[in-house]
Amino acid sequence: MKLTGAILGAVMTATAVSAPAAAQDAQQALAQGSVIETIKQRGVLRVGMATFVPWAMRDKNGELIGFEIDVAKKLGADMEVRVDFVPTAWDGIIPALLAGKFDVIIGGMSITPARNLTVNFTAPYANSSLGVMAHASMQGKAWPDDYNQSGVTFVCRRGATPCAYIAERFPKAELRQFDDQGQTLQEVLNGSAQVLVDSQPLPAFTIFDNPGVVFAPTEEKINPGNEGFALRKGDPDALNFFNNWILVNRASGWLDARHAYWFGGRPWADLVSN
């Protein structure tokens, strides 16, 4: 610690001598203004997330559980701060981050160039893929050609990545968007819509629970996604910290182990009153 301090001191003196004073001030201001500093001072890490099985959900006691809840809790423990979760409606989650309602989104958010123009993303901490679930009335039709027709209705969660995928790949089909996961599932189970495209493992679990009502028209891994933390722009220190936290926990196998637990099956089914 002392050695680091000494080195840091030496480096700072060196910078002070070599660089103009203004640049040094700017650098210090940047470091002080980092959200990491705010979190440490406050003693609380505020995490924005949305309920999404099995990333984050409520258990029988009303507590949040899930893959990214584990991730955020370990992040908090490693930073030695408490974690406050701020459950947020999905289509308002980026504006809420920008408005400073929380420090970081750990919400299974896939990295897309469009989103990246507004927020910064860390390296991915999870890799999801999309799955397809179709109503039994689509049985016997060939994926994907027969699905790109005017009588077919797709559903997705508003603002989520599958919407763009569907619009691009199935331009002739109708696309209906809903605000939460529950509504999209029910539309397909009822047969009001025929196809759901959503992050795995939700389609797989639903098909398992409702045999004969819905089925998987394809087993291919569609549009493999990269989920990263999202944070406000202009904060290199925080980006660096989060990136390396992910790097360390990926290398240690911790991230993969947690991912396997939550996504591999449903050993946690008893925790939620389903």
List interacting residues with other proteins (CB under 8 A).
44, 51-53, 57-62, 84, 86-89, 92, 95-96, 98-101, 179-183, 185-186, 189-191, 210, 213, 272-274
Nearer to other proteins, 149 or 274 (CB): 274
- The sign of the CA dihedral 146, 150, 154, 159 is positive
Nearer to other proteins, 57 or 126 (CB): 57
Using only C-alpha atoms, what is the Rg of the chain? 22
Nearer to other proteins, 123 or 136 (CB): 136
Query: Residue 29 and residue 4: Cα distance in Å, rounded?
Result: 21
Residue 51 is encoded by which pair of tokens? 């309920």
| Contact in structure between 131 and 222 (CB atoms under 8 Å) | yes
Smallest gap, in angstroms, from Cβ of residue 89 to other proteins? 5
Smallest gap, in angstroms, from Cβ of residue 45 to other proteins? 11
Can you tell me which residue has the tokens 């028209």? 217
Phi, psi for 192 (deg, rounded to 5):
-70, -30
Nearer to other proteins, 153 or 210 (CB): 210
Nearer to other proteins, 8 or 99 (CB): 99
Strands (E), 106-221: 120-121, 130-135, 153-157, 174-178, 195-199, 214-215
Query: Residue 212 and residue 220: Cα distance in Å, rounded?
Result: 21
Q: Cα–Cα distances in Å, from 147 out to 168, 173, 181, 218? A: 13, 7, 22, 12
Q: Is 227 helix (H, G, I), strand (E, B) or coil?
A: strand
Smallest gap, in angstroms, from Cβ of residue 62 to other proteins? 4
Smallest gap, in angstroms, from Cβ of residue 157 to other proteins? 10
Q: Is 237 helix (H, G, I), strand (E, B) or coil?
A: helix
Nearer to other proteins, 184 or 249 (CB): 184
Smallest gap, in angstroms, from Cβ of residue 38 to other proteins? 11
Q: Cα–Cα distances in Å, from 185 out to 109, 143, 204, 221? A: 20, 20, 12, 20
| Contact in structure between 207 and 95 (CB atoms under 8 Å) | no
Nearer to other proteins, 47 or 246 (CB): 47
